[in-house]
Amino acid sequence: MLFIRMKKTLFALFAVLLVLLPVILLATCDLLEPPPDTEEPPPDGMVRLAVNVVDGSAGRALTTDNAPSEADYYEVIFLTDGRYYQMAWDKTNNPTTSPSITIPTADYNGSGGNDAVLFAGKEADKILLGVGTLSTTNIQESTKSVSFTVGALKSVVDDTGSSAFKIISPSNDGNSHSYVTGADGAAGTLKVDYTPIFPIPQAGYVAGSNPSSTSEAITGEWTVTIPNPGYVKLATGGWSVVPVTSITPNTTTAFGGTTPTYTPTTPDNSSAVGSAISATTTAVFTFDIVVPATGTPGVTGFYINVPVRAFDNTITNYEATILNGTTVSTATTLPITWNIRGGTDITVADTTVTNNTGAVIILGVGTHVF
């Protein structure tokens, strides 16, 4: 009798298990399924892309050995149908991820109003180090990611005739002393050896004679190689030559030479703002250097600052996103104004030393420093 009751009990438990089994299996399957995608899919005709940056430079940015891979801040802009889609992010807070942007599908090949560009540089002072273009331009809904190949800006100041900075007028002081190229500063002149020092007259210049008391402009020329220059537009305010009265490390000879007056001439700030700063990959900037008639001999310096923006000088019809770690926000003051300089550090001389980051060009007022 007991055996029959146990059989009935076991049968009843088995029946209950059969009823509960589908529920248990269903719950288990739910636990094993991946969580649903909480990000809304892009609208029709749009695509969400991961943006990758490829260092395609032959050398390093601004010097011969300083690559765009040193960049820690990026801005990408896609242009289509008269609208700009922009994203900016810093590598410090996004070290390994490829940030995503949602844009319309199109062939961003530079024609028909469709185009794209990436700026790469230093977040501090927004120093532009490289310009990137799409490796593949035709972006469709099946496209998952895009890559921008970045070329480096280059500007190498040295003591040769190929220096990025030269004195182009006057060529000499009447006694065949060249003003064109610099001479490396020796210990005792500058603590930083291999610093090109470019001589200028102490008290103005009259063509065909020695420096005189007449104040007359000396002409300087600075060049920078810019890949894909058509994307780099001169921003509001125009470019400038900024005087510097000291550097780090400082000079043993006092940095006390007369500070000249610097006047940009080419490109003309009154007409060039909003335009590409150069039609070729070599952008040339010329400016007058005026030493007063009562100039004081010694060492002085300057750096050149060229504010630029991608595409148009004033973009009003755009959608913008700033990525800063896990924070995503929109911005209302884009596009970003970047700065082109001869280096990333405006407190250090531009020297011929490997890995130099200095932007300051040194002038020797009078011949005593040579």
Domain ranges of the chain: 46-152, 165-311+341-365
For 238: left if phi > 0, alpha if psi spans -120 to 50, otherwise beta; the answer is: left
pLDDT tier, 45 (very low <50, low <70, confident <90, very high otherwise): confident
- Of 160 and 277, the one with more pLDDT: 277
Q: Are 275 and 212 in contact (CB under 8 A)?
A: no
Mean pLDDT value of segment 109-119: 92
- Give the residue-averaged pLDDT of 42-53: 84
Whether the pLDDT of residue 324 is over 70: the answer is no
Q: Rounded distance, CA 137 to CA 97, Å?
A: 22
pLDDT of 251 higher than 60: no
The residue ranking higher by pLDDT, 291 or 68, is 291
Residue 172 DSSP one-character state:
B
- Inform me whether the pLDDT recorded for 5 exceeds 50: no
Question: Is 83:76 a contact under the CB 8 Å cutoff?
Answer: no
pLDDT of residue 114: 93
The C-alpha angle with vertex 208 and arms to 206 and 212, in degrees rounded to 5, equals 35
Distance CA 117, CA 134 (A): 7
Residues 274 and 337: beta-carbon distance below 8 Å: no
Joined tokens for residue 51: 């943006």
Per-residue pLDDT tens digits for 265-283: 999 988 888 889 899 999 9
Pairwise pLDDT comparison (211 vs 289), residue with the higher score:
289
pLDDT of residue 130: 92
Pairwise CA distance, residues 297 & 257, whole Å: 5
Q: Which residues of 315-333 are buried (b: 16+ CB within 10 A; e: fewer)?
A: beebebbbbeeeeeeeeee
Mean pLDDT lowest among 56-70, 73-87, 207-221: 56-70
Handedness of CA 345, 346, 348, 349 (dihedral sign): positive
267 vs 24, more confident: 267
What whole-number distance in Å separates Cα of residue 201 and Cα of residue 365?
6
pLDDT at 142 over 90: yes
Tell me the whole-structure pTM to 2 decimals: 0.80
Q: What is the 3-state secondary structure (H, E, C) of 44-92?
A: CCEEEEEEEEEECCCCCCECCCCCHHHCCEEEEEEEECCEEEEEEEECC
CA-CA distances (angstroms) from residue 170 to 84, 204, 269?
47, 11, 24
d(CA 338, CA 130): 11
pLDDT at 133: 93
Lowest mean pLDDT among 19-28, 168-177, 187-196: 19-28
pLDDT recorded at residue 118: 94
Which whole number is the average pLDDT over 238-261?
Answer: 78
Choose among 340, 166, 362: nearest CA to 239: 340
Give me 9's structure tokens.
């009990």
Residue 65: pLDDT band (50, 70, 90) is: very low
Q: What are phi and psi of 5, to 5 degrees?
A: -65, -40
